[in-house]
Amino acid sequence: MAAILTIIYLLASITFIIGLKMLAHPARARRGNLIAAAGMAAAIAGTIFLYKDEEGNFLQNYTWIFGGLIIGGIAGTVAARKVKMTAMPEMVSIFNGMGGACAALISVVEFGHLMDGLQSVPGLTAIDITFQAGLRQQLLIILAGLVIGSISFAGSMIAWGKLNGKIRDFIFTGQHIFNIVLLLVIFFMALYLVGWLPASGVLLFYIILGLSLLYGVFFVMPIGGADMPVVISLLNSFTGVAAACGGFLYNNKAMLTGGILVGAAGTLLTILMCKAMNRSLLNVLIGSFGTGHKGAAGAKAEGGAAYKEISLSDAAMVMNYAHKVIIVPGYGLAVAQAQHTCHELEKLLESKGVEVTYAIHPVAGRMPGHMNVLLAEADVSYDKLQEMEQANNDFPSTDVVLILGANDVVNPAAKNDPASPIYGMPILDVELAKTVIVNKRSMKPGYAGIENDLFFQPKASMLFGDAKKVLQDLISELKEL
């Protein structure tokens, strides 16, 4: 049985790697997800029916196991089917937080088992324990899973609240110093517990748990809205590492491999997103967007400088006679649930001989790949999705750029205003096109809280309104031309 279970874990690990590789391309992502899910299902089934403990006994508590599987499966399926695309980032945060909570609970349970085992040995003292390297290693892994999992859980819950607007940024003087001190306290308390295992070890363990949850809250609280995609990715990597700790504790190859893959992928994605924003991870963690910076656009607005508006009929006319149109999707498109209408506009323009593509910024939306998933839901061809570098090469030869709810990723302040918090961040160079049409509900700044100088440039015209309604009206106007 043990050999069969090992083979199942090995095959499951292979499916995780294959699935992750296939996720790198939108055309294969769905299939890759199903392959990885099949591997996980096999690993779960193998554990339930083939695992034996040290005494050679199979698992007995099937009622609890299948009860949890059924309840969790139903809840997850219903949530996934009902969630709107605008709420997908919040859902990712919740699911990621549940993974962190699971890893932390594993550590709590295993610490209890460890302490029960030590108390059952007559005459065993704390000094004896400190010289048992195996026990110290086990306790170290337990504490690592506890701390990392708790931080991931608490941080993910705060990220969820901030993404849906229920929790606001909270910053106080010296908060970053407080966070560093708190993290050091947790670290040294954990070292003390591992090295000496004092009589108050159980109390100290739960103090570490409480402080880790507190750190997770204060870790995410000061991070600005524009950085949330990076934070979600980072917390995801935390959950992977915490799960890998559980794999170590149970000597479970599938759990270990899955955790390592999630941790590594989340870390690499975090680094890539920071690179796309031209910011270091440290700068993301200790800085925040949306601190009231107005920049050049704010000065123009207060000084009475006017932006231009364009009518629906004029916008339709410009797009109808264009040779090339690039659509820049943003969170406003997701909020309006306008992806299907946008695809309809794309097909209508192409029927008139217009070349239409989409420019996707790496950090557009509220989570990594948000815009890709949004457009894939509307069956937009993957070949039409251009990455930032490719799109920037095409903007100079583009007749019309239609911006749908994007803001910070097209803000020229990233290139022109050294005082701007996003200065140095690579953006979509939409101002290089002949005409720029910006669809927004109002002139309010984007998620980063920064005014956009693009709106006041001569080539730019504002088309106010809900993205779905505006696109529907544009389609009607185009059909009459």
Question: Which residues neighbour 270 within 8 Å (Cβ) at sequence distance 6 or greater?
Answer: 230, 233, 234, 237, 281
pLDDT band at 226 (very low <50, low <70, confident <90, very high): low
What's the confidence (pLDDT) of residue 127?
43
- Whether the pLDDT of residue 292 is over 50: the answer is no
Question: What is the model's pLDDT at position 36?
Answer: 94
* Segment 407-433 mean pLDDT: 85
Average pLDDT score over residue span 183-187? 95
Higher pLDDT, 273 or 337: 337
pTM: 0.79
User: pLDDT digits over 173-182, tens only?
Assistant: 888 889 899 9
Q: 90-121: per-residue pLDDT in tens?
A: 888 999 999 999 999 999 999 998 888 776 65
Domains of the chain: 83-286 (no CATH), 295-480 (3.40.50.1220)
Sheet of 435-440: strand order equals 385-387, 355-360, 324-329, 400-404, 435-440, 460-464
On whether the CB atoms of residues 225 and 289 are closer than 8 A, the answer is yes
Of the candidates 227, 394, 408, 417, the residue annotated as catalytic is 408
Contact 420, 414 (CB under 8 A): yes
- How much is the pLDDT for 238? 94
Q: Please give the pLDDT value at position 453.
A: 85
| Over residues 30-51, mean pLDDT | 92
The average pLDDT across 247-258 equals 90
Q: How far apart are CA 165 and CA 336, in angstroms?
A: 17
Distance, in Å, from the CA atom of 428 to the CA atom of 393, rounded to the nearest integer, reads 10
Nearest CA among 320, 349, 285 for reference residue 341: 349
Residue 272 CB contacts under 8 Å (≥ 6 apart), including other chains: 362
Average model confidence (pLDDT) for the chain? Answer: 85
The pLDDT of residue 24: 77
Asked whether residue 288 carries a pLDDT value surpassing 70, the answer given is: no
- From residue 291, alpha-carbon distances to 179, 228, 241, 287 in Å are 20, 15, 33, 10
Helices assigned H by DSSP within 221-352: 228-250, 253-276, 281-286, 295-302, 312-320, 331-335, 339-351
Give the lowest-confidence range in 142-156, 401-415, 464-478. 401-415
Q: What is the pLDDT of residues 321-341, one digit of tens each?
A: 999 999 999 888 888 889 999
- Is the pLDDT reported for residue 28 higher than 70? yes
| pLDDT tens track for 353-405 | 999 999 998 878 777 778 888 888 888 988 899 989 999 999 999 999 999 98
Q: Assess whether 408 carries a catalytic annotation.
A: yes
Residue 64: its pLDDT value, please? 92
- Of all residues in the chain, the percent with pLDDT exceeding 70 is 89
Measured CA to CA, the distance from residue 63 to residue 43 in angstroms comes to 19
